[in-house]
Homo-oligomer: A and B are copies of this chain.
Amino acid sequence: MRALTIDESGLKLRRDYPKPDRADGESLVRVTMAGICGTDLELARGYMGYRGVPGHEFVGIVEQSGSPGLVGQRVVGEINAACGRCDFCRTDFGRHCPNRTVLGILGRDGAFADYLALPDRNLLFVPDSVPDEVAAFTEPVAAAYEIFEQVNFAASDKILVLGDGRLGAVVALVLYAAGLNPVVAGHHRIKLDRLSALGLKVELEEKLKPAFDCVVDCTGGPQGFLRSVELVRPRGKLILKSTAAGNHALNLAPVVINELTVVGSRCGRFEPALKALADGTVDPRPLVSGRYPFDDALAAFASARDSSNFKCLLQIA
């Protein structure tokens, strides 16, 4: 099958990559569409030493499964394949299972390929009314909904989404859909204008002034943490939504002096995200900056690296 792979020499589009083995309890999914995320760009740069097929935002059709009801169904899939037996799994937190593999990120080939394998229990049916380019956003929208599992907001909270990239845009849309009124800030006038046209309040990053009740750091870089600490009020909340790989020179003293609460936030449950996409509460289509045939995957990655773009999608089947 075709697969985009990462090895020592970087990204490569291969045509002879073996189809994934489907273990007991797993389904083989023919990927129809997949989205490129900042994590994929990081993995391609060597983050976590990942080797194999990246990609974890997808929609596809089940071709083989031990569960006959799944075959032929259009599905999206939660990306953490958990053991099902540990304390985390028993309390419905398989996303933190220490024995987990993660689709396209950790120990399991991902979605930038003709086929992927995931446990049956990870798969959710996609209603016919939801087009592929919307369903492909389920994973990042779920990651945004994760914030509501971790933090309570007041309607009057002054919320800043720091970072005008694909993640910041999705987070801002989800907060806005929940009746909150976040400011999105970044360095790219062109993207801020697009977000403004969606009803969001926007601001150039260098014009921001303290103090926000909550800052959601979606910058993907260590400077985002430092800037967030400057912009949040004492006793405020700082939600770290993106990871910055490696060590960086950071000063935690302001976290203590201002008694900040810093909340790390990663993957979320798919169910509320898919519901919001299906009923139109969240419509991510204005964030699509390009659709690329899979054979042009390397060009799609180049486009995803262009900071004037939001989401680039791969049309795989």
- With A96-B235, A235-B93, A235-B96 known as contacts, the answer to whether A258 contacts B252 (CB < 8 A) is no
| Whole-angstrom distance between the Cβ of A43 and the nearest chain B Cβ | 13
Closest chain B residue, CB of each to CB of A256: B264
| Whole-angstrom distance between the Cβ of A13 and the nearest chain B Cβ | 28
* CB of A23 closer than 8 Å to a CB of B: no
* CB of A276 closer than 8 Å to a CB of B: no
- With A258-B96, A258-B264, A260-B264 known as contacts, the answer to whether A245 contacts B234 (CB < 8 A) is no
Give the distance in Å from the alpha carbon of A93 to the alpha carbon of B259 in the complex: 11
Per-residue contact bits, chain A 236-276, to B (CB 8 Å; 1 contact, 0 not): 00001111111111111111111111111110000000000
Task: Provide the residues of chain B in CB contact with A242, threshold 8 Å.
Answer: 256
A243: contacting residue among B257, B261, B266, CB under 8 A: B257
| Interface contact B248-A259, CB-CB below 8 Å | no
| Interface contact A244-B240, CB-CB below 8 Å | no
Is chain A's binding surface mostly helix, strand, loop or mixed? mixed
Give the distance in Å from the alpha carbon of A254 to the alpha carbon of B264 in the complex: 8
* CB of A152 closer than 8 Å to a CB of B: no
Task: Provide the residues of chain B in CB contact with A247, threshold 8 Å.
Answer: 249-251
Size bracket of the A interface = 35 or more
| Whole-angstrom distance between the Cβ of A237 and the nearest chain B Cβ | 10
Closest chain B residue, CB of each to CB of A255: B264
Q: Which of A88, A93, A96, A245 has the most chain B CB atoms inside 10 A of its CB?
A: A96
- With A88-B234, A234-B88 known as contacts, the answer to whether A150 contacts B251 (CB < 8 A) is no
Give the distance in Å from the alpha carbon of A257 to the alpha carbon of B88 in the complex: 14
| Interface contact B252-A249, CB-CB below 8 Å | no
| Interface contact A261-B261, CB-CB below 8 Å | yes
| Whole-angstrom distance between the Cβ of A155 and the nearest chain B Cβ | 18
- With A235-B93, A235-B96 known as contacts, the answer to whether A252 contacts B243 (CB < 8 A) is yes
| Further 7 A-B residue pairs, CB within 8 A, beyond A240-B255, A241-B256, A262-B263 | A150-B261, A247-B251, A248-B250, A252-B264, A254-B264, A255-B262, A262-B264
